[in-house]
Structure 1
Amino acid sequence: VELRRRLSVLDQKRAQGAKGMDKVEVVIIGGGYGGVELALNLLERLGGRETCSVTLIHRGSQVLQYATEYNRKIGTDRLGAAGIEVRTDTSVVEINAIDDDEKSTGGGSWPRCTIKLATKEGEESSISADLLLWTAGATPTNDGKGVLNSVLPRDGNGRIITGDLLRVKNSENAFSLGDCSRARKVPYAATAQVAMQQAPVVAWNVHATLINKIRGEKKSASKDTVKLLPFNYLDLGEMMTLGNDDATITGLGGLFELSGAGASILRRLVYAARMPTPRQGVTAALESTSRRLRTSSRAQGNRKKSPRKVIQWK
């Protein structure tokens, strides 16, 4: 909602001819699924590379680190083809507002900021932005508060270490799921699909732990002990939107791979079909179609109309 509001204000500023708004500078922090999807869709939304520049900052060595190989390749290729600058192995040091910039003065003002960056080698640089989007997450710095600052065992990236039962290491009654935990040496992708599959397993294991505690029996000492369930991830595939008419999909363990306009249509249908109720599915499909038509109409409106050729009939 906030992004939609800011884009609406930005459209108004550009329509009013605000100073410096002829080319908008967008910086996105985080090269995961959300960062790559935002980069490509925002570039298209703001009129393409002629009226917008997008820079993607990622502290890892490659974007889409946990995506399938096919989706990672398609996503990387689309970023390059769109002219989006990608800076890997780069972290954000600090962010400051710009008060005396040309774009921030006069009647057509627009607040800007500058981002100080540092590579793994220690090289520092700065980049300015009209629009800054953060998709990389954040770690709280308040000592002694919050899950990530608790006494629970964590790995080097701050994720809580669990086993196959999704039970926290060296604990009997603490469980963790989602992208804040790591259930194996190579972490699962930080996606809703993984968390949704983990949720019922954690729910059952919490239930089993409570039942066993109430019965006052150890898990291995009685046949009546309720067994805890191990987590087995079922890869149902993944979908990414790479623009209004572009997407990439993989499924069935890599047996099904599709990208382009066909993948975009299929992705919309899948999301509509997965809605909880038929009514919500129809609503999602209609909203997706109307949004696509509005985007196409906006793009056509930005194009220069060519003069019509008059045909004289004899």
Structure 2
Amino acid sequence: PGAADHSIPFRTIADAYRLEEALRELEQSEADKIRVAIVGGGYSGVELACKLAERLGDRGRLRIVEMGDQILRASPDFNRDAAMKALSDRKVWLDLETRVANISADTITLAYRDAEDVLPVDITLWTVGTKVSDVVTTLPLAKTERNQLKVNTKLQVVSRPDIFALGDLAESFDATGQRVPSTAQSTFQQAQYAAWNIWATVNHRPLLPFRYQHLGEMMTLGMDNATLTGMGVQLDGPMAHIARRLAYLYRMTTLDHQIKVGLNWIAKPVRDLLSL
């Protein structure tokens, strides 16, 4: 109760602007502490906690509330361990096996086993769960209980082979029968298959069943810290941060975009130094 009215979701650009505005108001206030509760110990919650802890510094009092017995349940052990260390170094409190009983404008009620605690809070961030776009929910197409579109291995919507769907708006299984995770990595791979299959449909060529290949996992754990695993490599710290940025730069669609983003990354430290 209270999540819809008193927490800030973290899914869209509008949510990010809303969080930024709330942070600026608190930073400009005379409060000696800025208390932030982050609901969800998944990728978004952990990455957000690390960056907010660095931004708020000694004024920050951050906690992650997670119903499970560990954060990043689907993450490799190496990345989870690196994340635990990053959170500990930044003094982020972990409430594991804990559920949110209630959220008000300035408190959060946490339930652990048979006890409940009411804690003061300035911002509550809600990072758990994904919501399918309202546009998708209104489409007269086959859907799952979570309103995701049902697709076959060729990414065609069930009963509508002329429509292709990918990403987290669709429940997808690949050619081997494994469920495709709702991640940017899998969506990027699906896009290549979807593009080919659309072309193949138009030109009466055989369609390709999607095959997901897990290439590894990268996480940001602060302004200049990250962790990554994949292709036989395990890396954390500043070098992982650089490797992660280079990987994202490589994945950008055009050379012009790559140059603009790369130059912005190079120039940002200089701008920050000049603004001091």
Q: Judging changes above 3 Å, is the alpha-carbon distance between structure 1 residues 279 and 160 closer, same or farther for their aligned structure 2 residues?
A: closer
Judge conservation of contact 1:66–1:189 (CA < 8 Å) in 2: no
In 1: Cα distance, 2:264 partner to 2:41 partner? 28
Q: Does 1:46 align with 2:56?
A: yes
Rounded Cα–Cα distance in structure 2 between residues aligned with 1:202 and 1:152: 19
TM superposition score normalised by structure 2: 0.73
Counterpart of 1:219 in structure 2 is none
Q: Give 4+ residue runs of structure 1 displaced > 6 Å after superposition.
A: 148-151, 293-298
Query: Which structure 2 residue ranges, 5 or more long, are not aligned?
Result: 1-15
Partner residue of 1:183 out of 157, 172, 188 = 172
Q: Distance in 2 between matches of 1:278 and 1:294?
A: 24
Give the 5 Å matches for 1:86-97. 86-97=94-105
Structural mapping, 1:33-112, within 5 Å: 33-47=43-57, 50-97=58-105
- Of the candidates 223, 226, 233, which is equivalent to residue 212 of structure 2? 233
Q: Which residue of 2 aligns with 1:108?
A: none
Structure 1: any 5+ residue segments left out of the alignment? 98-112, 213-224, 302-314
RMSD, aligned CA: 3.7
Deviation per residue, 1:189-208 (Å, 9 max, x gap): 43212112112323444555
Letter in 2 for 1:285: G
Cα displacement string for residues 120-158 of structure 1 (whole angstroms, at most 9, x for unaligned residues): x67654443212222224558x9xx85299773526x66
For the Cα contact (< 8 Å) 1:139–1:148, is it kept in 2?
no
Does residue 154 (structure 1) correspond to residue 139 (structure 2)? The answer is no
CA contact (8 A) 2:26 2:34 kept: no
Partner residue in 1 for 2:153 = 164
Opposite residue 46 of structure 1, the aligned amino acid is L
Preserved CA contact (<8 Å) 2:54 2:90? no
Confirm whether residue 261 of structure 1 aligns to residue 238 of structure 2: yes
Aligned partners of 1:266, 1:5: CA distance in 2, in Å?
A: 31
Residues 36, 75 of structure 1: 8 Å contact kept: yes
Moved more, 272-281 or 238-247: 272-281
For 1:10, the equivalent position in structure 2 comes to 26
Q: State TM-score, norm by structure 1.
A: 0.65
SS in 2 for 1:285: helix
The alignment covers a number of residue pairs equal to 256
> Higher Cα Rg: structure 1 or 2?
1
In the alignment, does 2:157 pair up with 1:132? no
Contact 1:268 1:285 in 2 (8 A): no
Find out whether 1:243 has 2:232 as its counterpart: no
Identity of aligned residues (%): 36
CA distances 1:188-245 after superposition (whole Å, capped 9, x unpaired):
4432121121123234445555x59xxxxxxxxxxxx532211112333332111123
SS at structure 2 position matched to 1:63: coil
CA shift digits 1:61-82 (9 cap, x unpaired):
4322333332223213322343
> Residues 296 and 271 from structure 1, CA distance in 2 versus in 1: closer, same or farther, beyond 3 angstroms?
farther
**Structure 1 residue 114 corresponds to structure 2 residue 107:** yes
Offset, 1:275: 3.6
Could you tell me how far apart the structure 1 residues matched to 2:126 and 2:165 are? 25
